[in-house]
């Protein structure tokens, strides 16, 4: 059941060709939005080719789009050579410089460059919502993929840092923090291990899309949204009282 909550809105979703981004793009469309999908691997001619880690590409993309009401910075990868949900700990020395640069490029630079590119337009039009797909690994220490956990904590920090100060411009920024989600990032064997051996939930991407809609409606500045099993819960870090 959809309410048309995004009727007439322009929405951009990065990493929208697969998994969580694809489910969110479909939900935004169902809610009445015009949705632009940008992905490094577009799967149709309607999708825009974008490497989120390329700041010049961000500038060109934003110049080519109409004013955006919602920007969902969702593209992300695990450290090359790792599998999401693999609990085994690997020595940091096994993470090559190239793998480290790749994951920080997509998961952290991709979000930083995206926020930096879209903010001036939102400030000028007097409003908007930036939604970042972080992870539960952005709130707690996930063993195994240390670099992934570090990048997700970093983007949660970015959201918290900007949350209060963007309020005066009518711009909201918030983070989605899902647990394990059934997408190509978590191969089927890993999903089975997570549910059967670890006893943890693996949810459908549509559940994250539901949380995204709740976050957009709530406009809670600098908030994190925990999506764990059937639970969708808003979380706010302590206010340092600096804004």
Ligand X SMILES: NC(=O)c1ccc[n+]([C@@H]2O[C@H](COP(=O)([O-])OP(=O)(O)OC[C@H]3O[C@@H](n4cnc5c(N)ncnc54)[C@H](O)[C@@H]3O)[C@@H](O)[C@H]2O)c1
Select 23 or 93, whichever has its Cβ closest to ligand X: 23
Q: Which of residues 98-127 bind ligand X (CB under 6 A)?
A: 106, 110
Give yes or no for a contact between 186 and 202, defined as CB atoms under 8 angstroms apart: yes
Q: What single string gives the DSSP state of each residue in 75-129?
A: ---PPTT--TT------GGGS-HHHHHHHHIIIIIHHHHHHHHHHHHHHHHT-EE
End-to-end CA distance of the chain: 39
Residue with tokens 């969902």: 72
Does residue 75 belong to the site contacting ligand X (CB under 6 A)? yes
Q: Please tell me whether residue 173 binds ligand X under the rule CB under 6 A.
A: no
The rounded distance, in Å, linking the Cα atoms of 97 and 62 is: 30
Nearest 10 degrees: Cα torsion 74, 75, 78, 84: 50
User: Exactly one of 31, 35, 76, 103 binds ligand X (CB under 6 A); which one?
Assistant: 76
215 binds ligand X (CB under 6 A): no
C-beta closer to ligand X: residue 76 or 163: 76
Question: Which C-beta is closer to ligand X: that of 18 or that of 206?
Answer: 18
Q: Does residue 17 touch ligand X according to CB under 6 A?
A: yes
Task: Please give the structure tokens belonging to residue 152.
Answer: 């997700």
Query: Could you say whether residue 41 binds ligand X (CB under 6 A)?
Result: yes
* Stretch (H or E) spanning 176: strand 171-178
The DSSP secondary-structure symbol of 20 reads: H
Task: From 39-47, 58-66, 93-101, 167-175, give the range in contact with ligand X by CB under 6 A.
Answer: 39-47
State the nearest-atom distance from the C-beta of 169 to ligand X, in Å. 25
Stretch that binds ligand X, among 3-11, 93-101, 173-181, 213-221 (CB under 6 A): 173-181
Q: For residues 18 and 38, give the distance between their C-alpha atoms in angstroms, rounded to a whole number.
A: 11
Query: Is position 149 an interface residue for ligand X (rule: CB under 6 A)?
Result: no
Binder to ligand X among 13, 25, 48, 77 (CB under 6 A)?
77
> In whole angstroms, how far apart are CA 19 and each of 5, 14, 160, 243?
22, 11, 25, 36
Q: Which of 12, 24, 48, 50 binds ligand X (CB under 6 A)?
A: 50
Cα separations in angstroms, 140 against 65, 135, 226: 36, 9, 11
Separation between Cα atoms, residue 235 and residue 240, nearest integer Å: 15
State yes or no: residue 74 binds ligand X (CB under 6 A): yes
Using CB under 6 A as the binding rule, whether residue 14 contacts ligand X is answered as yes
Q: Specify whether 235 is catalytic.
A: no
CB of 120 to ligand X, least distance (A): 21
Contact flag: residue 211 with ligand X (CB under 6 A): no
Binding-site ranges for ligand X (CB under 6 A): 14-15, 17-21, 39-41, 50-53, 74-77, 84, 106, 110, 133, 135, 178, 180-181, 183-186
Residues with a catalytic annotation lie at 148
């Amino acid at each position: 059941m959809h309410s048309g909550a995004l009727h007439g809105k322009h929405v951009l979703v990065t990493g929208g060709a697969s998994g969580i981004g694809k489910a969110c793009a479909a939900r935004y469309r169902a809610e009445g939005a015009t949705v632009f999908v940008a992905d490094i691997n577009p799967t149709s001619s309607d999708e825009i080719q974008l490497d989120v880690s390329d700041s010049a590409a961000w500038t060109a993309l934003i110049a080519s789009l109409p004013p955006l009401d919602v920007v969902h910075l969702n593209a992300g990868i695990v450290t090359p050579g790792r599998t999401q949900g693999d609990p085994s700990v690997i020595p940091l020395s096994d993470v090559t410089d190239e793998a480290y640069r790749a994951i920080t490029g997509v998961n952290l630079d991709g979000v930083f460059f995206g926020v930096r590119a879209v903010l001036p337009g939102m400030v000028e039009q007097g409003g908007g919502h930036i939604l970042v797909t972080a992870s539960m690994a952005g709130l707690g220490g996930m063993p195994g993929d240390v670099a992934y956990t570090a990048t997700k904590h970093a983007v949660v920090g970015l959201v918290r840092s900007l949350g209060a100060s963007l309020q005066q411009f009518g711009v909201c920024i918030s983070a989605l923090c899902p647990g394990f989600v059934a997408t190509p990032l978590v191969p089927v064997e890993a999903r089975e291990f997570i549910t059967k051996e670890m006893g943890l939930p693996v949810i459908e991407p549509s559940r994250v899309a539901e949380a995204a809609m709740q976050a957009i409606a709530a406009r809670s500045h600098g908030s994190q949204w925990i999506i764990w099993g059937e639970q969708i819960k808003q979380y706010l870090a302590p206010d340092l009282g600096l804004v």
